[in-house]
Structure 1
Amino acid sequence: MLKKIYLYLILAPTFIFLILFTYLPLFRSFSDSLYDSRYAIDGEKFVGLENFYRLFDDPIFWLSLKNNVIYILLTVIPGVLLALFLAIILWENNRINRWLRTAFFFPTIIPLVSAATIWTFIFIPNLGLLDYYLAKWFGPMNTNYLGMSQSALIALSIVGIWKFAGYYMLFFLAGLQAMSTSAREAAIMEGASRRQIFFHITLPLLRPTINFVVIIALIYSITQIDHVVVMTQGGPSNSTSVLLYYIQDLALNSHDIGKASAATFISLVLLFSFSVFNLRILEKGVHYEH
Structure 2
Amino acid sequence: MRRTWQTWLILAPSLFFLVLFTWFPLVRSVYDSLFDTRLSSENPVFVGLNNFARLLADPVFWRALTNNLVYIVLTVVPGIALALLLAVALWENHRLNRWLRTAFFFPMIVPMVSAAALWLFIFMPGLGLLDHYLSIWFGPQNNNWLGRSNTALFALALIGVWKFAGYYMLFFLAGLQGIPASTHEAARMEGASATQRFFLVTLPLLRPTLSFVLTTALIYGITQIDHVAVMTQGGPDNATTVLLYYIQNLTWETHDLGKASAATFLTLAGLFAFSLFNLKWLEKGAHYER
TM-score interval, smaller chain:
over 0.9
**1:146 matched residue in structure 2:** 146
Q: Deviations over 1:161-215 (max 9, x none)?
A: 0011000000001111121111111111111111111011100110000000000
**2:11 matched residue in structure 1:** 11
Structure 1: 4+ residue segments shifted above 6 A? none
**1:218 matched residue in structure 2:** 218
**1:176 matched residue in structure 2:** 176
Question: Take 1:11 and 1:38, find their aligned partners in 2: how far apart are those partners?
Answer: 41
Aligned-partner residue type, residue 160 of structure 2: G
**2:92 matched residue in structure 1:** 92
Aligned-partner residue type, residue 140 of structure 1: P
Question: Take 2:168 and 2:287, find their aligned partners in 1: how far apart are those partners?
Answer: 23
Q: Secondary structure at the match of 2:209?
A: helix
Question: Take 2:228 and 2:37, find their aligned partners in 1: how far apart are those partners?
Answer: 28
Question: Take 2:121 and 2:41, find their aligned partners in 1: how far apart are those partners?
Answer: 47
Q: Deviations over 1:110-160 (max 9, x none)?
A: 000000010011001000000000000000000000000000000000000
Q: Secondary structure at the match of 1:149?
A: coil
The offset of 1:35, in angstroms, is 0.8
TM-score (norm 1): 0.98
Question: Take 2:42 and 2:64, find their aligned partners in 1: how far apart are those partners?
Answer: 32
**1:131 matched residue in structure 2:** 131
For residues 260-271 of structure 1, the aligned pairs below 5 Å read: 260-271=260-271
Question: Take 1:81 and 1:287, find their aligned partners in 2: how far apart are those partners?
Answer: 22
Aligned-partner residue type, residue 113 of structure 2: V
Question: Take 2:181 and 2:289, find their aligned partners in 1: how far apart are those partners?
Answer: 12
Question: Take 2:254 and 2:155, find their aligned partners in 1: how far apart are those partners?
Answer: 27
Question: Take 1:287 and 1:133, find their aligned partners in 2: how far apart are those partners?
Answer: 48
**1:159 matched residue in structure 2:** 159
Do the aligned partners of residues 150 and 106 (structure 1) sit closer, same or farther apart at CA in structure 2, a change above 3 Å counting? same
Q: Secondary structure at the match of 1:288?
A: coil
Aligned-partner residue type, residue 91 of structure 2: W
Aligned-partner residue type, residue 228 of structure 2: V
**1:113 matched residue in structure 2:** 113
Residue 208 of structure 2 corresponds to residue 236 of structure 1: no
- Could you tell which deviates more after superposition, 68-77 or 13-22? 13-22
The offset of 1:70, in angstroms, is 0.2
Question: Take 2:69 and 2:77, find their aligned partners in 1: how far apart are those partners?
Answer: 12
Q: Deviations over 1:67-93 (max 9, x none)?
A: 000000000010000000000000000
Q: Secondary structure at the match of 1:247?
A: helix
Instruction: Calculate the aligned-residue CA RMSD, in Å.
Output: 1.0
**1:187 matched residue in structure 2:** 187
Residue 58 of structure 2 corresponds to residue 55 of structure 1: no
Q: Secondary structure at the match of 2:286?
A: coil
Q: Which runs of 5+ in 1 are unaligned?
A: none
Question: Take 1:40 and 1:237, find their aligned partners in 2: how far apart are those partners?
Answer: 30
The offset of 1:96, in angstroms, is 0.6
Question: Take 2:104 and 2:287, find their aligned partners in 1: how far apart are those partners?
Answer: 32
**1:34 matched residue in structure 2:** 34
Task: Give the percent of matched residue pairs that are identical in Structure 1 and Structure 2.
Answer: 64
The offset of 1:42, in angstroms, is 5.6
Q: Which runs of 5+ in 2 are unaligned?
A: none
Residue 276 of structure 2 corresponds to residue 276 of structure 1: yes
Aligned-partner residue type, residue 259 of structure 1: K
The offset of 1:3, in angstroms, is 1.4
Aligned-partner residue type, residue 17 of structure 2: F
The offset of 1:41, in angstroms, is 8.1
TM-score (norm 2): 0.98
**1:72 matched residue in structure 2:** 72
Q: Deviations over 1:35-70 (max 9, x none)?
A: 112124861111111110100000000000000000
The offset of 1:265, in angstroms, is 0.5
Question: Take 2:183 and 2:210, find their aligned partners in 1: how far apart are those partners?
Answer: 19
The number of residue pairs the alignment matches comes to: 290
Aligned-partner residue type, residue 206 of structure 1: L
